[in-house]
Chains A and B, each alone.
Chain A
Amino acid sequence: MTKPISVASKTKQIVKKHGNSKSAMIAVLQDIQEAFNYLPKEALKTAAKAMNVPMSRVYEAATFYTAFSLKPRGKHIVKICKGTACHVRGASILQDRFETTLGIKPGQTTTDGKFSLETVNCVGACALGPVVVIDTDYHGQLTVNKVDKIIKKINEEGA
């Protein structure tokens, strides 16, 4: 078995891949998040050093963009599309249901670490509205009645 790579050395690799350049900040943060599922503090510190910028610059970018999370996220990410087309077709009803079923609000993660709930402005699949994207699967024309079934199915698959 190979030794798990440390946060710091993985981060250094990522920064190096982007040429240690501070203009690649967003891409670096995206890669860090992809590697760890969120932005660990240690990674941000390492990245700041490697790119030769103050930590405040990294923190500014990390907190400005909604795609970044400073907290660990769940194994499955539920993204509820809140685009206008989805809104007029009942996205908020779906959001209520996911909140009730999972017992969390957008931006939170279930205590078992299985699900994170997020809202997104528009996933660009408006014809299928209301749409919910779970990990990489698009669930189009979703109704409240299907919400519990989908969650149950994911839970069973993961078990």
Chain B
Amino acid sequence: MNENSDIQAHEILDNLTLFYGPKKKFVAICAGTGCRASGSLKVKEALEAELKKQNMNDVDVLATGCLGFCEKGPMVVIHPDKYFYQHVKVEDVPEIVSKTVANGEVISRLVYRHPETKKTLYREDDLPFYKKQHRIVFGQNGMLDPSKIEAYFNINGYQALAKALSEMTPDQVISEVKKAGLRGRGGGGFHAAVKWEGVRRAHGDPKYVIANGDEGDPGAYMDRSLMEGNPHSVIEGMIIGAYAVGSNQGYIYVRNEYPLAVEHLTIAIAAARENGLLGKNILGTDFSFDIHINKGAGAFVCGESSALFASIEGRAGEPRAKYVHAVEKGLYDKPTVLNNVETWANVPLIINKGADWYASIGTEGSKGTKIFSLVGKINNTGLIEVPMGTTLYEIIYDMGGGIPNGRKFKAVQTGGPSGGCIPESLLDIPVDFDKLYEVGSMMGSGGMIVMDDTSCMVDVARYFLEFLKEESCGKCVPCREGIRRMSDILEDICAGRGKEGDIELLETMGAAIADGSLCALGGSAPNPVLSTIRYFREEYETHIKEHRCPAGVCKALITYSIDAEKCTGCGVCVKVCATQAITGEKKKAHVIDKDKCTRCGACIQSCKFDAINVK
């Protein structure tokens, strides 16, 4: 190592940081994928034009990554007071600038109102959604424009890298991460430092470092939001990891469905190279490392390590048996560290603030925080970051605000297609890697899909098995054929063709598939079925024995009818019905022809009087 490198790294970085100047008053507008879909980019343009018009050139507009509370988008946070405005439209912009930005005056129609107490809450931190969160990783999103590296410098970006390169040996970096207790955020929860140590010790050259951004679990989008909203945190984590294990080449494998993430990562990597943070002699040291982006092409199994390597190598993403681990023989049969995007984003924090600080957050076996996507039948949908050990109840009721439309909570699905459904009786469990596993589910990448009494658990199991049937790569028999058979049985149960003994058969097959499959996809595939049988067995029995779907979901087991007392004869349902199954005179109760009705749900969605019954 270069002798002068100790001083150099910090000095070089300080020069970069100084160059970009101090913080200013600013308006942050969420430009994550969710808010973009709700029109936030137009609001951003309007804000910029209006600030110019009103001669407020000292105020910046930051198009930030995802702020988490996607339900309320487009949302705007006005700094330094952190006033939070929801559902902002272009028409609101002149008033926001002239009142709030200029004079600190709050516009009451745009602020959040507590759904129960009806109290208005002005500041971001006061909102129940944010209040109990601990946003050490994700909170940075709101402070920076992800397309500008100087914004990341402003929040102490790349300081951890400078510290690692100049003050720590690779072994010290690894032992710090080990002491922090960082476990992989992608699913398995394997200790990151153990992998790193393995690769550092392994023989073979070159060594590779990979960020897994193939966020395949449906219902999880925290990695997307990190790559889009704070790409440099992932890159910085990877460089530190590469330094620790002795690697010069890294890859970020991003899902095909995430174009904005690819865009922002590409910009960030180019900026890091320009500033000497990637490439040869990083920050004046003799350590060199670079990153290449690989786009996936729509295959769930590529989130599995050996399938991901195959995909980067340009082949079909088929996993292989892991007699030899990736730390010995991974990408191109060379020692490889593969960590999930969120895991990498945690690394700079550990180096900056120390392992003791990090390990003080969380539970005995699971340290730090975890980002979850709280979606489905829940009032406050969005991304939340909480300390490990927070209970499901706190997440769903305190932050999530409970179930919409006064419906009843039924289950929360965690861990994606590898996970399971957790019932109401277990809402008190603290969420961490080990607890979720104990109750038959898993952490996965952090998706939490909340279901109410209109969600059918058999249908949910059928949905996941259909998903896995499509996504099984087909290499090993238990997974390919077994999942197909389980899926057929579930299909039958939902179509009213269920038989006595089906539940037991599913249980037996589930155990066999879990035992016999080559990779984690097959190994965990039965989980959605086994966990729903475990907690909702009577729902399966009702489908099989009574040919009834209590939740009103399985089409073959339900009929639609119109409540003559509630129907006003407005005719809206007649217009939306695709099969002309609804007839009736204006202003008189309508009727549904059960033979023509396809139970598509269009009439239910359009009826304002709740007059369509499903039984």
A49-88 vs B, CB cutoff 8 Å, 1 = contact: the mask equals: 0000000010011001111100000000000001111111
Size band of the A side of the interface? 35 or more
How near does chain B come to A93, taking the closest CB pair, in angstroms?
Answer: 4
The chain B residue sitting closest to A93, CB to CB, is B601
CA distance A100 to B576 in the complex (A): 12
Size band of the B side of the interface? 35 or more
Contact at B460–A22, with CB atoms within 8 Å? no
Residues of the B chain whose Cβ atoms lie less than 8 Å from the Cβ of A66? 297-299
Instruction: Count CB-based A-B contacts (< 8 Å).
Output: 171
Chain-A contact segment, one of B14-22, B212-220, B361-369: B212-220
Given contacts A30-B297, A122-B217, contact A60 B70 (CB under 8 A): no
How near does chain A come to B339, taking the closest CB pair, in angstroms?
Answer: 19
Contact at A65–B298, with CB atoms within 8 Å? yes
Contact at A23–B314, with CB atoms within 8 Å? yes
Chain-B contact segment, one of A3-11, A108-116, A136-144: A136-144
A3-30 vs B, CB cutoff 8 Å, 1 = contact: the mask equals: 0000000000000000001111111011
Contact at B258–A124, with CB atoms within 8 Å? yes
Interface SS majority for chain A: helix
A98-113 vs B, CB cutoff 8 Å, 1 = contact: the mask equals: 0011000000000000
Which of A22, A29, A122 has the most CB atoms of chain B within a 10 A radius of its CB?
Answer: A122
Contact at A82–B70, with CB atoms within 8 Å? no
B10-33 vs A, CB cutoff 8 Å, 1 = contact: the mask equals: 000000000000000000000001
Q: Does B311 contact A (CB under 8 A)?
A: yes
Contact at A88–B455, with CB atoms within 8 Å? yes
Q: Select B313's contact among A23, A84, A125, A136, beta carbons within 8 Å.
A: A23
Given contacts A83-B219, A128-B34, contact A121 B605 (CB under 8 A): no
Residues of the A chain whose Cβ atoms lie less than 8 Å from the Cβ of B255? 124
Contact at B463–A64, with CB atoms within 8 Å? no
Residues of the B chain whose Cβ atoms lie less than 8 Å from the Cβ of A25? 314-315
Q: Does B256 contact A (CB under 8 A)?
A: yes
CA distance A120 to B221 in the complex (A): 14
CA distance A122 to B376 in the complex (A): 13
CA distance A89 to B216 in the complex (A): 19
Contact at A144–B375, with CB atoms within 8 Å? no
Q: Does B312 contact A (CB under 8 A)?
A: yes
Name 8 interchain pairs, CB-CB below 8 A, sorted by A: A83-B218, A85-B375, A88-B376, A88-B449, A122-B220, A125-B70, A126-B219, A126-B375
Measured CB to CB, the residues of A under 8 A from B are: 21-27, 29-30, 57, 60-61, 64-68, 82-90, 93, 96-97, 100-101, 120-129, 131, 136-140, 143-145
Measured CB to CB, the residues of B under 8 A from A are: 33-34, 36-38, 70-71, 73, 215-221, 224, 255-259, 294-300, 311-318, 373, 375-377, 381-382, 413, 416, 447, 449, 451, 455, 460, 463-464, 467, 471, 473, 576, 578, 598, 600-602, 605-606
